[in-house]
Amino acid sequence: MRNRKIFLARMNSMIVIVVLFASCAITSCQVLEDCRTNAFPPKENIAIEEFVVNLDLPPQERWTHIVMKKKDGIKKFVDYFRGMMPSFLFNTLTNFLEKGIKKFPKPYGDEIIGIAKAVDMPLAHILACNIFYELEKVCTSIIAEDEKGHVYHGRNLDLGALLGWDPKGDTWQIAEFLRPLTIAVDYQSGGKTVFKTVQFAGTVGVFTGIAPERFSFSLNSRSPDTFFGGPMGVVHWVLSGSTEQQFASILARSVLENAESYDDAVKRLSESRLLAPVYYIVAGTEKHQGTIITRSKTQSIKPLRLSDKQNFLVQTNYDNWKKPPFYDNRRKPANICLKQMTNKNSTKKLNFFEMLYNVLSTVPVLNKATIYTTLMDPSTGEIQSFRRDCTGDCYPW
């Protein structure tokens, strides 16, 4: 009965989506509202809860104190994830994926094992959730440079679009489950910060992070011509004997921990082999240190950098040299607002965290799938993160 209700809910969601796409084909799917100018500072009650992960502990013990506190939320998400498909298919999928745990590079596989033990859930379920986050994200990342060459970094992480709509909550159901699981993590060794991230409790990979006084990064999904590149990459990873290709979020965490500089980070993120195409957005501590890395599985393609002529960069989920699709053009509104706010004729002195937050709070850059907003200053190591819930007349993505 429960699976039948979930199935019917999916069908209703699909009907709504078909109608929406048909409407978008006739009219403009996303219309820019006035650029927000008063969203910052955000309310204190949407600040994200912070935790410390001690890298000096054995990998299987590092996450216990966090996932035990978030155990109920993790189980609710897994139950919903399981309900998205017939039981036999989910069991087949998780049994298939569990074969891959031995191929996870250390210490990340051991961390996943430790998380599964701590929350008393099947290892395959926790592994499946970690992989799910790799496949489905819709994001906006911005790098902006002030007149003195100081670089700032902001991002919205959007997740859950098209995966079930909650009419009562007026939001995507996946986003509803993940907002309470969003955490800020301070990774420490010897009692000192090595890097900081924003991620979901129960995961070990990273989509947003900062290595203080070195660089910051965000990861966006890429929508190339091969739509199923991500899932097929996972299948190849499990079946093949090769361990050369990496999950994008696992590579990112390794780079945060080990890269010695912005240039080192850009090199590693540009050259390592991946399971699926992505965008890495990287900001540094010196003038013009800002790059959008467009990745195929094997190489970087047409990197875009800050320059004297370009003091901000915007990346959503489409190649920057191509026109975004009619149904998802968050890039244009973000660019319009940034141009307005960085107008050199303005007499107002810019607070770049305020500017970035306002842009990331402008509809449709902010939408029903947005889970959190993060602001980063790699030069100082400052990172601020906030849960988001776009109520009212927001676009679905």
What is the residue-wise DSSP string for 271-311?
HS-BSS-EEEEEE-SSTT-EEEEEE-SS-EEEEEE--SS--
**Mean pLDDT, rounded, for 222-238:** 67
Least confident residue range of 5-9, 63-67, 127-131, 211-215: 5-9
For the stretch 196-227, pLDDT in tens is 999 999 999 999 999 999 999 999 999 765 55
Q: With beta carbons less than 8 A apart as the criterion, state whether 145 and 288 touch.
A: yes
**Mean pLDDT, rounded, for 119-130:** 92
Tell me, what's the pLDDT at 225? 56
Structure token pair of residue 111: 């961390």
Q: Which amino acid is at 24?
A: C
pTM above 0.85, yes or no: yes
Architecture of domain 136-387: 4-Layer Sandwich (3.60)
Is the pLDDT reported for residue 350 higher than 90?
no
Length of the chain: 397
**Mean pLDDT, rounded, for 155-173:** 91
Tell me, what's the pLDDT at 14? 47
The verdict on whether omega for the bond into residue 231 sits within 30 degrees of 0, i.e. cis, is: no
Torsion of the alpha carbons at 177, 100, 210 and 201, rounded to the nearest 10? 30
**Mean pLDDT, rounded, for 164-172:** 91
DSSP state of 37: S
Beta-strand relationship, 290-295 and 278-283: antiparallel
Band (pLDDT 50/70/90 cuts) for residue 237 is confident
Is the pLDDT reported for residue 363 higher than 50?
yes
In the chain, DSSP finds a helix count (H) and a strand count (E) of 12, 15
Give the CA count within 13 Å in the CB-facing half-sphere of 206. Answer: 25
DSSP state of 101: G
* 172-184 burial code (b ≥16 CB/10 A, e <16): bbbbbbbbbbbbb
For the stretch 31-49, pLDDT in tens is 677 999 999 999 888 999 9
Tell me, what's the pLDDT at 282? 99
As a whole-number percent, the residues of the chain with pLDDT over 70 amount to: 87
Is the pLDDT reported for residue 335 higher than 90?
yes
Torsion of the alpha carbons at 66, 72, 77 and 79, rounded to the nearest 10? 140
Q: With beta carbons less than 8 A apart as the criterion, state whether 365 and 156 touch.
A: yes
Torsion of the alpha carbons at 70, 72, 73 and 79, rounded to the nearest 10? 140
Tell me, what's the pLDDT at 99? 76
Band (pLDDT 50/70/90 cuts) for residue 98 is confident
Tell me, what's the pLDDT at 89? 82
Is the pLDDT reported for residue 27 higher than 80?
no
As a whole-number percent, the residues of the chain with pLDDT over 90 amount to: 70
Top mean pLDDT of 30-39, 123-132, 148-157 is at: 148-157
For the stretch 239-279, pLDDT in tens is 776 678 899 999 999 999 999 999 999 999 999 999 989 99
User: Which residues are identified as catalytic?
Assistant: 139
Band (pLDDT 50/70/90 cuts) for residue 96 is confident
Bigger pLDDT: 196 vs 13: 196
Give the dihedral sign, CA 319/323/327/332: positive
Tell me, what's the pLDDT at 115? 98
Q: Is 122 exposed, middle or buried (0-12, 13-18, 19+ CB in 10 A)?
A: middle
Cβ contacts of 189 within 8 Å, gap of 6 or more:
54, 55, 56
Band (pLDDT 50/70/90 cuts) for residue 229 is low
Quickly tell me which residue has 């986050």 as its tokens: 133
**Rounded distance between C-alpha atoms, residue 100 and residue 80, angstroms:** 23
Q: With beta carbons less than 8 A apart as the criterion, state whether 209 and 252 touch.
A: yes
Q: With beta carbons less than 8 A apart as the criterion, state whether 182 and 198 touch.
A: yes
**Mean pLDDT, rounded, for 70-74:** 98
Residues of the chain with CATH 3.60.60.10: 136-387
**Rounded distance between C-alpha atoms, residue 147 and residue 63, angstroms:** 41
